[in-house]
Structures are given as structure tokens and as C-alpha cells.
């Protein structure tokens, strides 16, 4: 039952019933409703702030865990980047110096990986701490780029190493005749008296005196490019080692290789003889580099100690007559 309110009317000297207009009723209802909604909203805010639901609490925990994982991942990426930087410096300052290769330019190493359009899908998601997440993705992209460049660099260096190994195996680097006590060394490179013509002529190789039939060995890997009688050189074998090097083995009595054959360092190419303009059994050995005949003594570094090299160098400088 509605409560009725009265007021005292002084004109009629009676108590009259208080009547409320519709406008006043509407205004009162409006304010009551507004205050109710405001109070309810306040209660919801307080409830969500201090009393989250189980689902909200779970989502908050998951967000915190994800942020923690992103932060840990960011630190891990920084550590990997430091290792990659060390590898890059070692690559440029050590490996590429050894193999005589130009360092990779910073522009190539730090090549771009695209702008923010690459992360448009992430930006549209309105992610929590999107600055951290995007930073991690950019660092990952940059690491992928640098690792790709570094991998290609190591592939290039590996190829250079193979080429160097082939070159070291090809360069004439040992003596063509076994001569541990140097008794077979007969004449060195330089101006020498010719044994037949009796004039001083340029002797363009080294003579090794040895009994007829003594084995003669290739001083490096290569391809046989001549097996023929070559005038004053007599029976001759020429080996092309690549990289500008050719060696000549002259005055042979027998061939042990054929034209076009691939041979290795230490493989027999023939037997010592005395063919051509020769006065006794011996090997005339030459090293030709880029078409120029050079002193072979400078290429005996694989089987001579420093002391042995010095002995052989002094023997080479003695004014001895060549054997042919």
C-alpha cells in the first residue's frame, strides 16, 4: 500500500493530501535509475579490480607468463647476437685474411628485413606489450639474415680452403731425386760452364747426379703435358701443376708416365739417364712459374729443414760446371 502524505492548508484549516505530478514522478524515476546504474557500475569495477573471475585470473596469469617468456627470449636473442658478432669479427679479421678474401661489407651483413608492414597482423591484434613483442620479432629477423650471410661466408671460405689445399699440393715443394746426404747435388741455378760447349751459359735448373735408372719423382700434383725427346734436354717429361707452375725433368733414360696422365706428388715420372747434351747420368730439373724459369732451390720447403736448406743453398751458389 502506497504511503499517503498530507500537509496543513492554512486557508481551509484542514489537512490536505500531497499530490505528486507526473513530471516530478518521471524526474524522480530518472534520477533513481541513473544512480542505480552508477552504483551498479561502481560495484562492477570494484569487483573486477579486486575480485576477478576465475577466467580473468587465468588470462592474467597467462599474459604474465607470456611477457616473462618474451623477456627471456629477448635476452637469449641478445646473447646469440653477441656470439654471432664474435664469429663475424673472426671471419673478417682472421679467416678472410688467411685466405686473402675481402671482408663482407656491413651493408650486406646488416641488410634490411622490411618495415612495419611485415608485422601488420600483429599490430591489428592490439597485443599487450606489443612494443616488446615486435622488438623480439625484428631481432629474430635480423638474426636470420645475419646467420644466412655468415653461412654463405663459411661456404665461400670452405671453397677457398679447398683451393688453397689444391694449390699447396700442386706447388713443386720437394726434391725430385732422393738425396738425404746431398751427394747427388751436382750443379745449381745460375751462370755455369757448359760441359760440352765450354762456354759460360745460363743454367736454368738444378742437376742431380745419380746412377743410371735411379727413380725421378714428381715434385707436386699435376698433369703430364709432355713426354718426348726435346733436343738438348733429351728424353723429357713436363708436368703442369696449375696455378702457373710447370716442372721439367730432363735427360731421362725411361718414361714412367704417359701424356695427359694425372699424377700426385712423389709419383715416379721416369728414370735418370744421360740423353741429350749430357756428359754423365743425371737429372736436369727446372721450375717454371708463369712462363719464367726460376731457381728450384726456393721450392724445396716441404722436405728440407732450415739447416738443410742452408747447406743446399751454399752448394747451389758454388761455381760448379753443369752436367748438361
Q: 218 or 322: which carries more pLDDT confidence?
A: 218
220 located within any domain: yes
Residue 264's domain spans which residues?
185-317
115 located within any domain: yes
1 located within any domain: no
78/17 same-domain check: no
Burial profile 27-37: b = 16 or more Cβ within 10 angstroms, e = fewer: eeeeeeeeeee
283/201 same-domain check: yes
Three cell numbers written together for 123: 599490430
207/141 same-domain check: no
Q: What is the pLDDT of residue 94?
A: 56
* Domain C-terminal end among 15, 30, 50: 50
308 located within any domain: yes
261, 224 contact by CB (below 8 A): yes
Closest CA to 293 of 170, 176, 168, 190: 190
Tell me the CA distances in angstroms from 170 to 47, 98, 175, 177, 322, one per residue in order.
Answer: 85, 19, 14, 17, 28
Q: What is the pLDDT of residue 286?
A: 94
45/59 same-domain check: no
Taking the model in full, what pTM does it have?
0.55
Residue 311 burial (CB count, 10 A): 13
At residue 160, what are phi and psi to the nearest 5 degrees?
-65, -40
309/193 same-domain check: yes
222/155 same-domain check: no
Tell me the CA distances in angstroms from 280 to 186, 195, 208, one per residue in order.
Answer: 11, 10, 11
- Burial class for 120, CB neighbours closer than 10 Å (0-12, 13-18, 19+): exposed
12/115 same-domain check: no
pLDDT tens digits, 279-296: 889 999 999 999 999 988
Q: What is the pLDDT of residue 120?
A: 53
132 located within any domain: yes
225/306 same-domain check: yes
Q: What is the pLDDT of residue 130?
A: 64
CB within 8 A of 239, min separation 6: which ones?
A: 218, 220, 222, 223, 224, 225, 246, 247, 249, 263, 269
179 located within any domain: no
* Domain C-terminal end among 118, 140, 170: 170
Q: How confident is the model at residue 193 (pLDDT cuts 50, 70, 90)?
A: low
pLDDT tens digits, 137-181: 777 777 777 777 777 777 777 777 777 778 888 889 888 998 775
Closest CA to 44 of 53, 31, 34, 32: 53
175 located within any domain: no
Tell me the CA distances in angstroms from 85 to 91, 105, 161, one per residue in order.
Answer: 10, 14, 22
61/114 same-domain check: yes
Q: What is the pLDDT of residue 287?
A: 94
157/46 same-domain check: no
Q: What's 257's domain CATH number?
A: 2.70.70.10
CA 284/CA 33 separation, integer angstroms: 119
196/312 same-domain check: yes
Q: Lowest-confidence range among 56-70, 94-108, 224-238?
A: 94-108
110 located within any domain: yes
Q: How far does CA 143 lie from the centroid of its chain? A: 16
43/126 same-domain check: no
Residue 201 burial (CB count, 10 A): 11
Report how many domains make up the chain: 3
Amino acid at each position: 500500500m502506497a504511503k499517503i502524505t498530507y500537509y496543513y492548508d492554512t486557508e481551509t484549516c484542514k489537512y490536505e493530501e500531497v499530490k505528486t505530478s507526473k513530471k516530478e514522478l518521471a524526474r524522480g524515476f530518472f534520477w533513481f535509475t541513473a544512480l542505480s546504474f552508477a552504483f551498479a557500475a561502481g560495484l562492477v569495477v570494484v569487483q573486477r579490480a579486486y575480485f576477478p573471475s576465475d577466467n580473468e585470473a587465468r588470462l592474467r596469469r597467462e599474459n604474465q607468463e607470456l611477457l616473462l617468456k618474451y623477456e627471456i627470449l629477448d635476452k637469449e636473442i641478445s646473447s646469440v647476437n653477441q656470439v654471432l658478432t664474435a664469429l663475424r669479427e673472426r671471419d673478417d679479421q682472421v679467416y678472410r685474411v688467411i685466405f686473402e678474401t675481402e671482408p663482407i661489407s656491413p651493408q650486406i651483413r646488416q641488410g634490411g628485413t622490411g618495415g612495419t608492414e611485415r608485422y601488420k597482423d600483429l599490430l591489428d591484434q592490439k597485443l599487450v606489450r606489443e612494443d616488446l613483442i615486435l622488438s623480439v620479432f625484428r631481432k629474430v629477423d635480423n638474426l636470420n639474415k645475419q646467420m644466412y650471410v655468415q653461412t654463405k661466408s663459411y661456404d665461400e671460405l670452405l671453397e677457398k680452403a679447398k683451393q688453397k689445399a689444391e694449390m699447396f699440393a700442386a706447388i713443386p715443394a720437394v726434391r725430385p731425386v732422393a738425396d738425404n746426404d746431398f751427394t747427388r747435388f751436382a750443379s745449381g741455378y745460375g751462370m755455369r760452364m757448359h760441359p760440352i760447349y765450354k762456354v759460360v751459359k745460363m743454367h736454368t735448373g738444378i742437376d742431380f747426379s745419380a746412377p743410371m735408372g735411379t727413380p725421378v719423382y714428381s715434385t707436386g700434383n699435376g698433369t703430364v703435358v709432355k713426354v718426348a725427346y726435346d733436343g738438348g734436354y733429351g728424353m723429357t717429361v713436363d708436368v703442369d701443376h696449375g696455378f702457373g707452375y710447370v716442372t721439367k725433368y730432363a735427360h731421362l733414360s725411361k718414361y714412367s708416365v704417359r701424356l695427359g696422365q694425372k699424377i700426385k706428388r712423389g709419383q715416379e715420372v721416369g728414370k735418370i739417364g744421360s740423353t741429350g747434351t749430357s756428359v754423365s747420368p743425371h737429372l736436369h730439373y727446372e721450375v717454371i712459374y708463369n712462363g719464367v724459369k726460376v731457381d728450384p732451390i726456393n721450392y724445396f720447403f716441404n722436405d728440407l729443414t732450415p739447416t738443410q736448406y742452408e747447406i743446399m743453398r751454399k752448394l747451389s751458389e758454388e761455381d760448379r760446371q753443369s752436367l748438361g
